[in-house]
Amino acid sequence: MDPLVLQNRLGHVFKDATLLQQALTHRSHSSLHNERLEFLGDSILNCVVASLLFDRYNKIDEGDLSRLRANLVKQQSLYEIAQRLDLSQFLRLGEGELKSGGFRRPSILADTLEALFGAIFLDAGFDAARDVIRSLYIPILDTVDPKTLGKDAKTLLQEYLQGKKIPLPQYNVVATHGAAHNQEFEIECLVPKLEIQVFGTGGSRRAGEQAAAKLALEAVQAALVKTPASTRKPRARTTQLKLAGIATIQPDAPSEALPLVADAPAVKAEKPASLKAGRADAPKSDAKTESKADSKADVKAEPKADAKVDAKAEHKVDNKDKADPKPTDGKSESKASLAAADRNDIRSEAQVSPAVTQSKTA
């Protein structure tokens, strides 16, 4: 193709045509290639881009400017500019590189563009090189968001998902198209938690991933705007409660209803304690479990209103006092004598009771 077409696209017509020819020559073509011009053009490019950023963004600090510049002068950015210029049509490559598709390789195109900047500098000076670079980068800077600070799409997507506590995306090569020397990669980007699946294509796997990540970032932001985290409610679920070995299933309910279920085991736990303490309000069904000691305690606690019962108790005490001084031999005392003594006590109590009652009444 006519080199004049390329010069018109660059906005600079070379005075020394040999510089343009050398800038377009790959090392595979001849010994007079463009690697030295590439070295010079890389330095000029960094200087001009740094000046552009310094003048354009006067409120951004040094660290952010450095990251933004690095993003603008990296191979991918240069490759995209070279594609806009259709630079691959003007390359001078060796036979092997032509067969392998080197004229479309991002590294070769990016290096050739930097060599052109160096050649322009040698042909017309720094101002001419700066004007060419500015004309190529101003449209890019108009579309750059300074808040991204020069981060690529994959980095932006990763940081955005991390900020929302969402797992990182997954990238998969779905298919490759074209010949081996001119392949186009189709990349799938997945965000499983949000059920997002997008596809991007590029001349390399990295370029395809960047294209897919850009689409995924837009889809994620749109999805989260529609359903912000603060308004998303969990779906209704049933809760399984196991109380006393019995599983009961009931739907989620307000907190007022929960104590009705939770109090059930507490009643069962209190029953044994109330029985041991001899509570009068214990259920009748549990009366069989009361011990004899508890029933005797209840009887003793009731007041004795009958005077005869008091007299019998007093007489028994007197008989015991009279019997205490007499020593007894347990071995010689028979069962018959003990039974007779008990009967005498009963008869004496019957005789004494009326007298005691009369005396108390008087």
User: Catalytic site residue 318?
Assistant: no
184-191 and 170-177 strand pairing? antiparallel
d(CA 75, CA 264): 72
d(CA 31, CA 208): 34
Q: With pLDDT > 90 as the criterion, what percentage of the chain qualifies?
A: 43
246-251 and 170-177 strand pairing? unpaired
Whether this prediction's pTM lies above 0.75 is answered by no
pLDDT tens readout for residues 211-233? 999 999 999 999 988 765 555 54
* Among candidate residues 55, 37, 48, the one with its CA nearest the CA of residue 127: 48
Say how many residues make up the chain.
362
Q: What are the start-end ranges of the E strands in the chain?
A: 170-177, 184-191, 196-202, 238-243, 246-251
Which is higher by pLDDT, 291 or 241? 291
SS3 at position 25: strand
Burial of 329 (0-12, 13-18, 19+ CB in 10 A): exposed
Question: What local confidence, expressed as pLDDT, does residue 102 receive?
Answer: 77
SS3 at position 211: helix
Question: What local confidence, expressed as pLDDT, does residue 3 receive?
Answer: 83
Helices (H) and strands (E) in the chain, counts: 15, 5
Least confident residue range of 54-68, 72-86, 165-179, 338-352: 338-352
Residues sharing a CB contact under 8 Å with residue 348, sequence separation 6 or more, in sequence order: 315, 319
Question: What local confidence, expressed as pLDDT, does residue 21 receive?
Answer: 93
List 42, 97, 111, 188, catalytic entry: 42
| Confidence grade of residue 182 (pLDDT, cut at 50, 70, 90) | confident
| Confidence grade of residue 103 (pLDDT, cut at 50, 70, 90) | confident
Domain ranges of the chain: 3-146, 161-226
Centre a 10 Å sphere on the Cβ of residue 142 and count the other Cβ atoms it contains. 8
Mean pLDDT value across residues 21-36: 91
Tokens of 60: 């951004």
d(CA 201, CA 187): 6
Tokens of 119: 């050649």
Tokens of 337: 């004598």
Q: How many CA atoms lie within 13 A of 360 on its CB side?
A: 11
Which is higher by pLDDT, 85 or 346? 85
| Confidence grade of residue 337 (pLDDT, cut at 50, 70, 90) | low
Tokens of 21: 């020819």
User: Catalytic site residue 114?
Assistant: yes
SS3 at position 103: helix
Tell which CATH architecture fits domain 161-226: 2-Layer Sandwich (3.30)
d(CA 230, CA 205): 37
| Confidence grade of residue 193 (pLDDT, cut at 50, 70, 90) | very high
Least confident residue range of 88-97, 190-199, 292-301: 292-301
Question: What local confidence, expressed as pLDDT, does residue 2 receive?
Answer: 82
SS3 at position 233: coil
Residue 72 has pLDDT above 60, yes or no: yes
Residue 30 has pLDDT above 60, yes or no: yes
- Quote the mean pLDDT of the chain: 74
| Confidence grade of residue 69 (pLDDT, cut at 50, 70, 90) | very high
SS3 at position 190: strand
List 38, 111, 114, 152, catalytic entry: 114
Question: What local confidence, expressed as pLDDT, does residue 152 receive?
Answer: 83
pLDDT tens readout for residues 229-287? 555 544 444 334 333 344 444 444 444 444 444 444 444 444 444 444 444 444 444 44
Q: Do domains 3-146 and 161-226 have the same CATH topology?
A: no
Tokens of 309: 């019962």
| Confidence grade of residue 303 (pLDDT, cut at 50, 70, 90) | very low
User: Given 3-state DSSP classes, what are the helix, strand and coil percentages for the chain, each rounded to the nearest 5?
Assistant: 60, 10, 25
pLDDT tens readout for residues 108-143? 999 999 999 999 999 999 999 999 999 999 998 888
pLDDT tens readout for residues 137-169? 999 888 888 777 667 899 889 999 999 999 999
Instruction: Give the right CATH number for 3-146 from 3.40.50.300, 1.20.200.10, 1.10.274.50, 1.10.1520.10.
Output: 1.10.1520.10
d(CA 148, CA 146): 5
Residue 292 has pLDDT above 50, yes or no: no
Residue 299 has pLDDT above 60, yes or no: no
